[in-house]
Amino acid sequence: MFRINNSACGVCGKARIAALQLRGYSKITSDLTVKSEVIYSLSGQLRSHQDIFSTTGGLHAAVFDAEGTMLNLQEDVGRYNALDKLIGEAVLSEELPFNHYIVMVSGRFSFELLQKSLAAGVPIVFSVSAPRSLAVSVAQEFGITLVGFLRGTRFNIYTGWQRIITA
């Protein structure tokens, strides 16, 4: 038995989003906002706490509050594992949902990372890189603010601009 797959994300993407809806996920409702000055500080804070990254180039994920205080950092060679560690620790300490927190990763935001963030109730996600198009679709569908290319004092807002307060 074999399966034929194609690399296009149009139809498969719609099916994946519909599957999330069928599982009972709904729009993230959170009044969390973040100021651009706080956003500018996140990647520097992340970099200063990256012990494993500086030696191995491993990827990582971190949780911040709206004031930019780093609450938790998890590193792993894979960004999926780092986010799993972050969410898993929150489950064990009964800190979910993350509806008043920001999650940041060092790699691209993919469908899978957005799915995990949705399950954890994260309203705002940041990345130092570009998100995949299906991640943007998921963020838009479920009301997640998605910011990419966060580097220094520059970033791109892909969805949920109303949660970002610019000076």
What does 66-90 look like in DSSP terms, one character per residue? TT--EEEEEEESSHHHHHHHHHHHH
User: Which is catalytic among the residues 6, 9, 115, 131?
Assistant: 9
Q: Give the position of tokens 């963020």.
A: 139
- Identify the residue whose tokens are 């899978």: 112
β-partners of residue 76 are 59
Closest CA to 126 of 63, 47, 35: 63
| Burial track 35-73 (b if 16+ CB lie within 10 A, e otherwise) | eeebbbbbbebbeeebebbeeeebbbbbbbebebebebb
Place of tokens 């990419």: 148
Q: Is 9 a catalytic residue?
A: yes
Question: Are 123 and 96 spatial neighbours (Cβ–Cβ below 8 Å)?
Answer: no
**Active-site residue set:** 9
